Amino acid sequence: MIDLATKLARIGTEPDPETGALTPPIHMASTYARDEAGEYSRGFVYSRLENPTRRRFEEALADIEGGESCAAFSSGMASAMTLFQALDPGDHIVFPADIYFGVRHLATTVFSRWGLKSDIVDMSRLDSVQDAITDRTRIVWAESPSNPQLNITDIEGVAEIAHAASAQLVVDSTWSTPYLMQPIALGADIVLHSVTKYLGGHSDVLGGALVFSEKTTLSERVHELQREAGA
Ligand SMILES: Cc1ncc(COP(=O)(O)O)c(C=O)c1O
């Protein structure tokens, strides 16, 4: 088993199999060539669907978080939006009172028009999380530490409540980073990152990602939306 610090220093920078380059090439192409038989035997067709640069990042982040798969997006908000789009009208989310305002605003304004329901609770109290669960709750959303108040969530406790209700626990782990916490090991089903923050690290990148602990209908829908809608 590779030590986390070693993994963080090296992952995603394996030599390029084609050239041996130690710095991974950034693939700029939007479109890929067919081979002689007209097939895409190398696996890449069009960059919205998949591309080697995004794949390298997704595989690295899935590995670091202990997830089964990862979907990368152009921002943290694009990640949240795609997750909301993967739900059905009438589905219900439990949000913490302190959370990055953009995520809650998106859910309660834009997505309320699409029939998404939500309730806001004091997530430091497990009984208030439990009380907010309905038979349509699909997601319990935690953000730990939260932005801006730096509230800490009992991830294991909230995961237990979510799973008892057949809901999934999403943890926005932007401010923890995978170095300080791996939510999947604590029971989370989905980890969200605003890659724009510590994962990018230098205020020169806007990005987002969702990591899934396992393949589910929701994870499949997110991967489908990533390919088809292109956020
Ligand atoms: C905790 C958290 N989640 C999500 C976001 C949204 O990410 P982005 O700005 O990359 O869209 C932010 C942005 O500040 C954030 O702090």
Q: How close is the Cα of 9 to the center of ligand 1, in Å?
A: 24
**Nearest C-alpha neighbor of 213 from the set 182, 176, 180, 188:** 188
CA-wise closest residue to 48 among 192, 223, 175: 223
Q: What is the pLDDT of residue 79?
A: 98
Q: Give the residue from 135, 126, 80, 125 showing the smallest Cα distance to 103.
A: 80
Q: Are residues 24 and 113 in the same domain?
A: no
DSSP letter for each residue of 37-68:
TS--TTS--BTTT--HHHHHHHHHHHHHHT-S
What is the domain-level CATH number for residue 196?
Answer: 3.40.640.10
| Mean pLDDT for the stretch of residues 177-193 | 97
Active-site residue (options: 32, 54, 98, 100): 100
8 A C-beta contact, residue 228 and residue 206: no
pLDDT tens digits along 53-112:
999 999 999 999 999 999 999 999 999 999 999 999 999 999 999 999 999 999 999 999
Residue 1 pLDDT > 80:
no
Known active-site residue 48: yes
Protein residue whose Cα sits closest to atom 10 of ligand 1: 76
- Residue at 10 is within a domain: yes
Distance from first CA to last CA of the chain, Å, rounded? 34
Residue 13 confidence (pLDDT): 86
Query: Other CB atoms closer than 10 Å to residue 7's CB: what's the count?
Result: 15
Asked if residue 41 and residue 12 are part of one domain, the reply reads: yes
- Assigned domain for 182 exists: yes
**Are 174 and 210 in the same domain?**
yes
For 21-28, what is the mean pLDDT? 91
Let me know whether 20 and 100 are in one domain.
no
Domain count, the chain: 2
Is 7 annotated in the active site?
A: no
| Residue 138 a catalytic site member | no
Active-site position among 48, 55, 136, 221: 48
In this prediction, residue 14 has a pLDDT band, given cuts at 50, 70 and 90, of: confident
Q: Residue 195: which region, alpha, beta or left (left: phi > 0; alpha: psi -120 to 50)?
A: alpha
Ligand 1 site-directed mutation target among 73, 74, 95, 100, most atoms within 8 Å of CB: 100
Q: Model confidence over 111-143: pLDDT tens digits?
A: 999 999 999 999 999 999 999 999 999 999 999
Is 112 found in the same domain as 214? Answer: yes
Q: Which residues does ligand 1 sit against, CB inside 6 Å?
A: 75-77, 100, 102-103, 143, 147, 172, 174-175, 194, 196, 206, 208
- DSSP for 142-208 reads EESS-TTT-----HHHHHHHHHHTT-EEEEE-TTTHHHH--GGGGT-SEEEEETTTTTT-SS----E
CA of 171 from ligand 1 middle (Å) equals 13
Residues 79 and 131 in one domain: yes
Q: Are residues 44 and 75 in the same domain?
A: no
CA-proximal residue: ligand 1, atom 7 (nearest): 76
CB 145 within 8 A of CB 181: no
Is residue 94 in some structural domain? Answer: yes
- The alpha carbon of 77 and the centre of ligand 1 are apart by a number of angstroms equal to 6
Ligand 1 centroid – CA 33 distance (Å): 36
% of the chain beyond a pLDDT of 90:
92
Q: Report the alpha-carbon distance of residue 21 to residue 43 in Å, rounded.
A: 21
Q: Are residues 118 and 163 in the same domain?
A: yes
pLDDT of residue 105: 95
Asked whether residue 197 is domain-assigned, the answer is: yes
Q: 77 and 143, same structural domain?
A: yes
* Region of poorest pLDDT, from 40-44, 85-89, 166-170: 40-44
Asked whether residue 108 is assigned to any structural domain, the reply reads: yes
Nearest by Cα to 98 from 54, 142, 160: 142
Q: Is the pLDDT of residue 204 over 90?
A: yes
Based on the domain organization, do 89 and 122 belong to the same domain? yes
154 catalytic per annotation: no
Residue pointed to by tokens 């390919």: 227
Q: Which of 71, 28, 30, 21 is nearest to 48 (CA)?
A: 30
Mean pLDDT for all residues in the chain: 96
Parent domain of 219? 66-229
